Amino acid sequence: MPDLQKLLPPPMRRPPKPGHADGKPSEYAPGEAPDGKPTGLREGRTDDPGRRLSTKAQDAPADLVGWVDERMGATSFLTAMLMRKVPKGTNWFYTLGSATLFAFVVQAVTGVFLAMYYTPSPVEAYASITHLTNDVFLGEFVRGMHKWGASVMVILVFVHMARTFFFGAYKYPRELNWVIGVVLLILTMVMGFTGYLLPFDQRSYWATIVGVNINGTGPIVGPYLSDFLRAGPEFGATTLSRFYAIHMLLIPGAIIALIGAHLYLVVKLGTTAPPWMRADRKPKASRSEPVDAIANGAGGNGSAP
Amino acid sequence: MNNREKEEYLREYEVMKKKGKPFFPYAILKDSTMAVIVVGVIVFMSIYLGAEQGPKADPTTTTYVPRPEWYFFFLFELLRVIKPPWLVPVATIGVPTIAMVLLLLLPFYDRNPERNPLKRPIASIAGIMTIIAMAFLTFLGANAGSPTDIEMKVAPEFEPGKLVAAQSGCLACHQFGDNGNNGPGPKLTEIGARLNPAAIARSLEIGPGIMPSYSAMAEDEPAKFRDLVAFLASLNGEESSGEPDTGVAGDPGTGAPESSTTGGGDSSAAEPAASGSSP
């Protein structure tokens, strides 16, 4: 029975255990303390090869997690994040942000698959979409998810913002997170605008012409902005690839970075309590505590108040 | 918020948090349920609404409907609501920019420490009014069809040009008699009385303001283009049953059409009008 540890590169080997340092066999019998009493730590560790292998297999996931955590120290962070308390009264309105995040994940995943088949050139773009829609397995389904996912994400962004507005959640100390959120809203709309051209059918082409012209009416920077979007004074061959690069590289990168900052602030500052909840009502608080205890004792229904 | 109010809030928040439940599993459970619903809705829409492909983009085409995705309708409809050509930059850039800046700086000018929506009526009413305005504009945009028929009576020699105009998407933004959308472009019912044929042709080729250029048609199908110009030049309002257009103060002598909408000089005029209509 070869020792599996030998197969691993040295840094990935299990850290030496007491009594097994440097892989040397212990001078004590396995599972026994020096005084001969069972330790209870490693009772299955005998010289029976079959049992040793099964024990190792059972230990492997825990050992791997342990190895990673020894280097990253992520457990304390994860525990703090998962076990942090959310204020009393947190309800379904507070799921809108994570729902928006999830819609973005759907867009990112479906977008990767669309990019595998899409050709951003004015000559081939339309044909590549036809091929994707008609020939590729589940192609139309994935494209439909991306198309409608965009609408769902825009709706969720707006509803999430409305919730934040009416709950006063943008006030101290969360002002910065509101600003990041508004930038994310604008970037989401830019995604909608740049993505609309990519199917390269009549609707998207002419809507984009008008959209770029609208940007051109702006004071001072307007004409430069529309020239930048078109890659020149006229809608040309590089316009489509420019929109494609903005749509799948520039804006998604910015969105991912800002979502990271947004979530960091959410975890650091905590989510707000509903504005109608008050902590300082003494009689109400003292009365509600036993009720909470009973509710938790009876299976703790986690439903919203 | 002054320091006392800040401390008061943080202290109260600490208490609320202590009384709360751990994120895992209570909040995670709700979030996961919501995630499943979101994916379910997207899958449902993909299966039942599909992703149809329109006809291929053709820059030389004469039939198109420049319509944005539905969530831009409210911006597009602003162009119909704000009509005078010199105010177009207000609608295209002014109002959206001011709305964005107001949104971005919201926490810095709303210093009221109160958070309950029922106890800060001004903010709540402003928010509800903004939502109603956006919903109304989106609704208008969704219902603004793009007819492809002009019912005006014209002399027989202008009939081919009328057909070209009806099929070229002009009606999406211009009104001819009773047909077409009144905006973002000006009414064309009596355009011939205001502009000479050369100016009309130049307008079509340049595509002033947000209008797409028709230079491709002028080069590839000159006969069609001539018909279109002749038809437009023949419109002097006599056959029209609509109201005379007072929105556009076009000067027949200059021959310079709506091209005054481009350029930055209008931005100073943009501000007072925009601040009145922004949320």
DSSP per residue, B160-216:
HHHHHHHHTTGGGT-EETTEE---SSPP-TTHHHHS-HHHHHHHHHH--TTPPP-HH
A-chain CB neighbours of B137 within 8 Å are none
Task: Look at residue B269 and give its three-state secondary structure.
Answer: helix
Q: Which whole number is the average pLDDT over B2-24? A: 88
Has residue A265 been placed in a domain? yes
Nearest of B246, B232, B191, B21 to residue A90 by alpha carbon: B21
Q: Measured between CB atoms, does A274 come within 8 Å of chain B? A: no
Q: Do B53 and A129 touch (CB under 8 A)?
A: yes
One domain for residues A176 and A270? yes
A243 touches chain B (CB under 8 A): no
Q: How far apart are CA B102 and CA A121, in angstroms?
A: 39
CB contact under 8 A, A130 and B89: no
HEC string for chain A: CCCHHHHCCHHHCCCCCCCCHHHCCCCCCCCECCCCCECCCCCCCCCCHHHHHHHHHHHHHHHHHHHHHHHHCHHHHHHHHHHCEECCCCCHHHHHHHHHHHHHHHHHHHHHHHHHHCCCCCCCHHHHHHHHHHCCCCHHHHHHHHHHHHHHHHHHHHHHHHHHHHCCCCCCCCHHHHHHHHHHHHHHHHHHHHHHHCCCEHHHHHHHHHHHHHHHCCCCCHHHHHHHHHCCCCCCHHHHHHHHHHHHHHHHHHHHHHHHHHHHHHHHHCCCCCCCCCCCCHHHHHHHHHHHHHHHHCCCCCCCC
Cβ contacts of B5 on chain A, cutoff 8 Å: 172
User: What is the reported pLDDT for A259?
Assistant: 97
| Residue showing tokens 């309105």 | A93
Task: Pick the last residue of a domain from A73, A102, A132.
Answer: A73
A85-86 and B21-22 strand pairing: antiparallel
Burial class (CB in 10 A: 0-12, 13-18, 19+), A16: exposed
Residues A183 and A261 in one domain: yes
Find chain B residues with C-beta within 8 A of A304's C-beta.
30
Place of tokens 């492997």: A60
Q: Which residues of A touch B59 (CB under 8 A)?
A: 205, 235
Confidence of residue B257 (pLDDT cuts 50, 70, 90): very low
Token output for B2: 């002054």
Is residue B33 very low, low, confident or very high in pLDDT (cuts 50, 70, 90)? Answer: very high
Is residue A226 in a domain?
A: yes
Per-residue pLDDT of chain A (305 residues; tens, 9 = 90+): 456 566 665 656 666 555 555 545 545 555 555 555 555 555 444 555 666 777 888 888 888 888 888 888 888 888 888 888 889 888 899 999 999 999 999 999 999 999 999 999 999 999 999 999 999 999 999 999 999 999 999 999 999 999 999 999 999 999 999 999 999 999 999 999 999 999 998 888 888 888 888 888 877 888 898 999 988 888 888 999 999 999 999 999 999 999 999 999 999 999 998 988 877 655 444 444 444 444 444 433 434 33
B35 to chain A, any CB pair closer than 8 A? The answer is yes
Q: Do residues A30 and A166 share a domain?
A: no
In three-state secondary structure terms, B56 is strand
**What is the C-alpha R_g of chain B?**
26
Question: Which whole-number Å values give the CA distances from B203 to B68, B136, B226, in the listed order?
Answer: 23, 32, 13
Q: A216 at the B interface (CB within 8 A)? A: yes
In this predicted structure, what is the pLDDT of residue A269? 92
- What does the alpha-carbon distance between residue B263 and residue B267 come to, in Å, rounded to a whole number? 9
Q: What is the largest distance, in Å, between two alpha-carbon atoms of chain B?
A: 83
In a domain, A295, yes or no: no
Is B65 in contact with A196 (Cβ distance < 8 A)?
no
Do A69 and A94 lie in one domain? The reply is no
Instruction: Mean pLDDT check: name the lowest of B18-27, B165-174, B226-235, B236-245.
Output: B236-245
Asked if residue A304 is part of any domain, the answer here is: no
Chain centroid to CA A33: 47
Q: Sort out which chain B residues have CB atoms less than 8 A from A154's CB and list them.
A: 71
Is the CB of residue B24 less than 8 Å away from at least one CB of chain A?
A: yes
B245: pLDDT strictly greater than 50: no
Considering the domain boundaries, does residue A257 fall inside one? yes
The structure's pTM equals 0.73
- Among A39, A73, A107, where does a domain finish? A73
The number of folded domains in chain A is 2
Q: Do residues A156 and A46 share a domain? A: no
More confident residue, B86 or B250: B86
The CA-CA-CA angle for residues A176, B27, A82, to 5°, reads 75
Shared domain for A94 and A65, answered yes or no, is: no
Q: Do A203 and B15 touch (CB under 8 A)?
A: no
Look at residue A289 and tell me if it is in a domain: no
In a domain, A293, yes or no: no
Provide the pLDDT for residue B60: 72
Phi-psi region of A13 (alpha: psi -120 to 50; beta: other; left: phi over 0): beta
State the complex-level ipTM: 0.74
Confirm whether A107 is domain-assigned: yes
CB B90 within 8 A of CB B270: yes
**CB hemisphere CA count around B61 (13 angstroms):** 18
* Cα B279 to Cα B275: distance, rounded to the nearest angstrom: 8
B26 touches chain A (CB under 8 A): yes
Same domain, A129 and A246: yes
The mean per-residue pLDDT over the stretch B114-127 comes to 92
pLDDT-based confidence at residue B81 (cuts at 50, 70, 90): confident
The answer, yes or no, to whether residue B87 has pLDDT greater than 90, is no
Range of the domain at A238: 90-274
Residues 194-253 of B with CB under 8 A from A: 207, 209-212
Q: What is the CATH classification number for the domain harbouring A134?
A: 1.20.810.10
CA dihedral B170, B176, B178, B181 (to 10 degrees): 30
Mean pLDDT to the nearest integer, B103-107: 95
**Are A121 and A199 in the same domain?**
yes
Q: Does A179 lie in the same domain as A120?
A: yes
- pLDDT top residue among B35 and B221: B35
Q: Looking at the structure, do residues A133 and A237 belong to the same domain, yes or no?
A: yes
pLDDT of A95: 94
The amino acid present at A169, given as its one-letter code, is A
Nearest residue of chain B to residue A267 (CA atoms): B23
For testing the chain B interface, which of A100, A147, A206, A224 should be mutated: the one with the most B CBs within 10 Å?
A206
* Minimal C-alpha gap between B115 and chain A (Å): 5
Residue A166 with chain B: CB contacts under 8 Å: 117, 124, 127
Inter-chain contact A102–B38, Cβ cutoff 8 Å?
yes
Residue A229 token pair: 């979007």
Q: How far is A256 from chain B (nearest CA, A)?
A: 18
pLDDT at B183: 73
Distances (CA, A) of A179 to A176, A254, A256, A264, B68: 5, 14, 16, 14, 27
Please indicate if any CB of chain B lies within 8 Å of the CB of A121: no
Query: Cβ–Cβ contacts within 10 Å for residue A100, how many?
Result: 28
Inter-chain contact A275–B61, Cβ cutoff 8 Å?
no
Closest CA to A275 of A96, A88, A98: A88
Residue B204's pLDDT is what?
86
* B contact residues 92-151, partner A, Cβ 8 Å cutoff: 92-93, 97, 100, 103-104, 106-108, 110, 113-118, 120, 123-124, 127, 131
Cis bond upstream, residue B84 (ω within 30): no
Chain B partners within 8 Å of A103 (Cβ): 38, 42
Cβ–Cβ contacts within 10 Å for residue A71, how many?
9
Contact A144 B49 (CB under 8 A): yes
pLDDT at residue B152, rounded to an integer:
79
Question: What is the nearest CA distance from B197 to chain A, expressed in angstroms?
Answer: 24
Sorting pLDDT into bands at 50, 70 and 90, what band is B147? low
User: H or E segment at B21?
Assistant: strand B21-22
Q: Measured between CA atoms, how close is B262 to chain A, in angstroms?
A: 5
Query: What is the distance between the alpha carbons of residues A188 and A69, in angstroms, rounded to a whole number?
Result: 36
pLDDT, position A189: 95
- B33 to chain A, closest Cα gap in Å: 9
Does A263 lie in the same domain as A187?
yes
Q: Looking at A46, A73, A100, which one is the last position of a domain?
A: A73
Helix (H) or strand (E) holding B22: strand B21-22
Both A50 and A163 in a single domain? no
Query: What is the pLDDT, as a whole number, of residue A72?
Result: 86
Distance from CA of A75 to the nearest CA of B (A): 14
State how far the alpha carbon of B136 is from the alpha carbons of B78, B131, B228, in Å: 11, 8, 35
**Cβ-based contacts of B18 with chain A (< 8 Å):** 85
- Whether residue A291 lies within 8 A of chain B, CB to CB, comes out as no
Flag whether residue B12 sits within 8 Å of chain A, measured between CB atoms.
Answer: yes
